[in-house]
Structure 1
């Protein structure tokens, strides 16, 4: 799926209007406004308490709360006991629906490190859901990752990228791979980055022990995203800042952040937010226990224990994904960090959409009718996807 191929659909004919005292869009609009909707799209948008002209004759719905664009989660492994990497079709649909109801109206399903055979099987399940529009692509987080910074990924399954394997997985995916995370210091990684970019795939740098210079060189080769900054990379150091330092300083890189209260401290969140203004992307990194229960799970070939909603490797050596949602991250960003809603909208929808080449994610004319209604505490209330309330 090429970034160049994804465009917003044509505007249709409005069949209803929604009005709210405050609508915050990706274009910077913030105040009383209305949205004329039809055929699953935003047909028209305007400021003020109500539309005029022919639109006044349409059914009108007044929304209580603040309306923002639907969230875009480009890094999500599953929910409700389901892991996208091993799910059947029904399970993958359930996991996607859970995140959509929580406000993430657009999802890129993450498949963690596995054997080539297992990854091909996962792609066989997920590709039709991308083609149907349930998902907006597949993210391969592995197997081309660093053993030193593997996190929850089984070191026995990690390997360097070989052109034949890269091509085989892309072929199996039928053009639905939208994002690939890779450690740029691995043998053959820079060539793999160029190959993936040439195929229209967005490349992220992550689970890497690379130096800052190696990260900048990977950006030169076409990488444009950093996978969950701070996690899965060497700590920021003043003489060798590594991938984290490159993420915070290289304006070519969108910067993923897991804002679940576990993965990144408050001060580190503020450093990332201030240094990468306009490039920050909230992600959930949600694993199978999301919306489910504590217990034992498996991810990326490793056993995981979830206690009190915190996912850790069974040996306690690493966090193993999150049990949160992007919507919960938006609430935390607004309430705990005092971030303005326009900034939160950029981090939860607009920046991810831009970095992935997803058109129509900002509540502008011709965009998809994907919206979230937030209450006065910044929490997710109602969710609309493609013009339908979930």
Structure 2
């Protein structure tokens, strides 16, 4: 269900209003609560009886019975949507993708790149910088190019390379201070230097697309966490793991590999693990297992979405790679999975269907990624003083209404 046009217009005109329903925030559920929004900020969250008298005359939006009110969703691994592919360097297509994602409920996102030639990487970074400057995206995630050939997945193997400090410097410069995360393989020679530079610059090292053993994985994540803590940046909370299970060898009882180390360190709070819980990349039982093993506070739900998100089956691009989408599943010509086609709200819904408590699933798509990118004081939760990024859903977690900075957003331009 979507809000009626007149309701959306009234809210946009007034700029100050009340939302009533069940609030899901910070891993908690608050029944019969209200959220007051004024001037793009949240003024109050809690029982109606506690509402300050100055807020009691706010316009109350007529939401469907059983509505739930969530913080705006945050996707830190997303390559595009609605025909727009962030790695191509097409600024207008990127804006189309961002607009679609905002309207779908992902009010904050990192625009993810893929492994490509040096020139293509720098061009894509240059195209995304203005979007970051304008606040349309929260920054940029570079998935590669310092990744394992053995576990390249949909990354183009022609452009994979060992860690190169000079190239990393060029990437950081081209990003203009907006690089927020970089995926790297810890077994490659020179990876330690990459982690050190990223941590010093306040960029999240994200271990992934790796064939490393458990010991190498654990050592790299532990070092990354220690370097981030000592960096003095005070923004990035800890390293992450790029789409756990995907792009790495499977867990084996005599060769545990990176999965075992990532789960152990996530359980200890040293790292946070990404999960593409879209029903394609991971079995629902795997998703539920990870939440129960490490806790929602150490899980980040992501989409790994690509240009086909929101569009019909067909042929699309993911950076330099051609991708075919059939039955909403994206693959390279050899059958390799090539990103996702679900929105983050879809992923949250499927995580709940897997048996995860709704408040826990929402936390993994809001408060946890907000802390990962150092924005937990402004977004990711519904608390007084926070930016008014809000998603209202019905009983089935269908999108009803999206607010970004207190402004109502209409339906995505293309169907979900």
Q: Decide whether aligned partners of structure 1 residues 80 and 23 sit closer, same or farther in structure 2, where only a CA change above 3 A counts.
A: same
User: Is 2:22–2:29's contact at 8 Å kept on the other side of the alignment?
Assistant: no
- Cα distance in 2 for residues equivalent to 1:98 and 1:84: 13
Matches within 5 A, 1:250-265: 250=265, 251=268, 252-265=270-283
TM-score after normalising by structure 1: 0.92
- Cα distance in 2 for residues equivalent to 1:119 and 1:293: 28
1:62 is displaced (CA, Å) by: 4.2
Is the counterpart of residue 218 in structure 1 residue 220 in structure 2? yes
- Cα distance in 2 for residues equivalent to 1:36 and 1:173: 37
Other structure's SS at 2:177 match: coil
Matches within 5 A, 1:68-87: 68-87=70-89
- Cα distance in 1 for residues equivalent to 2:58 and 2:344: 33
- Cα distance in 1 for residues equivalent to 2:50 and 2:330: 47
Matches within 5 A, 1:184-199: 184-199=186-201
Aligned match for 2:331, one of 301, 309, 312 = 312
Instruction: State the partner residue of 1:342.
Output: 359
User: Is 2:87–2:114's contact at 8 Å kept on the other side of the alignment?
Assistant: yes
Aligned match for 2:167, one of 162, 165, 168 = 165
1:265 is displaced (CA, Å) by: 1.1
Instruction: State the partner residue of 1:240.
Output: 255
TM-score after normalising by structure 2: 0.87
Is the counterpart of residue 366 in structure 1 residue 381 in structure 2? no
User: Is 2:287–2:351's contact at 8 Å kept on the other side of the alignment?
Assistant: no
User: Is 1:30–1:342's contact at 8 Å kept on the other side of the alignment?
Assistant: no
- Cα distance in 1 for residues equivalent to 2:21 and 2:173: 48
CA displacement 1:166-214 (0-9 Å, x = unmatched): 1111011110000111111111001111110100101100000011111
CA displacement 1:133-158 (0-9 Å, x = unmatched): 10001000011110000001111100
Aligned match for 1:299, one of 305, 318, 326 = 318
- Cα distance in 2 for residues equivalent to 1:142 and 1:162: 11
User: Is 1:33–1:50's contact at 8 Å kept on the other side of the alignment?
Assistant: no
- Cα distance in 2 for residues equivalent to 1:49 and 1:76: 40
- Cα distance in 2 for residues equivalent to 1:338 and 1:269: 9
Instruction: State the partner residue of 2:128.
Output: 126
CA displacement 1:34-72 (0-9 Å, x = unmatched): 222223111232323672412123333343311011110
- Cα distance in 2 for residues equivalent to 1:296 and 1:333: 28
Instruction: State the partner residue of 2:246.
Output: 231
- Cα distance in 1 for residues equivalent to 2:341 and 2:273: 20
1:300 is displaced (CA, Å) by: 4.1
CA displacement 1:229-260 (0-9 Å, x = unmatched): 10000111112222211221103111100111
| Residue-pair matches, total | 375
User: Is 1:34–1:49's contact at 8 Å kept on the other side of the alignment?
Assistant: no
User: Is 1:146–1:208's contact at 8 Å kept on the other side of the alignment?
Assistant: yes
User: Is 2:101–2:107's contact at 8 Å kept on the other side of the alignment?
Assistant: yes
- Cα distance in 1 for residues equivalent to 2:143 and 2:127: 17
- Cα distance in 2 for residues equivalent to 1:380 and 1:254: 27
1:332 is displaced (CA, Å) by: 1.2
Instruction: State the partner residue of 2:305.
Output: 286
User: Is 1:152–1:300's contact at 8 Å kept on the other side of the alignment?
Assistant: no
Instruction: State the partner residue of 1:42.
Output: 42
Instruction: State the partner residue of 2:208.
Output: 206
- Point out where structure 2 has 5 or more consecutive residues left out of the alignment: 1-13, 226-238, 410-416
User: Is 1:297–1:303's contact at 8 Å kept on the other side of the alignment?
Assistant: yes
Other structure's SS at 1:94 match: helix
Instruction: State the partner residue of 1:383.
Output: 402
- Cα distance in 2 for residues equivalent to 1:100 and 1:243: 33
- Point out where structure 1 has 5 or more consecutive residues left out of the alignment: 1-13
- Cα distance in 2 for residues equivalent to 1:120 and 1:135: 18
User: Is 1:181–1:203's contact at 8 Å kept on the other side of the alignment?
Assistant: yes
Q: State the 4+ residue runs in structure 1 displaced beyond 4 angstroms.
A: none
Matches within 5 A, 1:80-99: 80-99=82-101
User: Is 2:89–2:123's contact at 8 Å kept on the other side of the alignment?
Assistant: no
Q: Decide whether aligned partners of structure 1 residues 188 and 159 sit closer, same or farther in structure 2, where only a CA change above 3 A counts.
A: same
Other structure's SS at 1:221 match: helix
Q: Decide whether aligned partners of structure 1 residues 21 and 303 sit closer, same or farther in structure 2, where only a CA change above 3 A counts.
A: closer
Other structure's SS at 1:99 match: helix
User: Is 2:88–2:319's contact at 8 Å kept on the other side of the alignment?
Assistant: no
CA RMSD of aligned residues (A): 1.6
Matches within 5 A, 1:2-81: 16-26=16-26, 28=28, 30-48=30-48, 51-64=51-64, 65-81=67-83
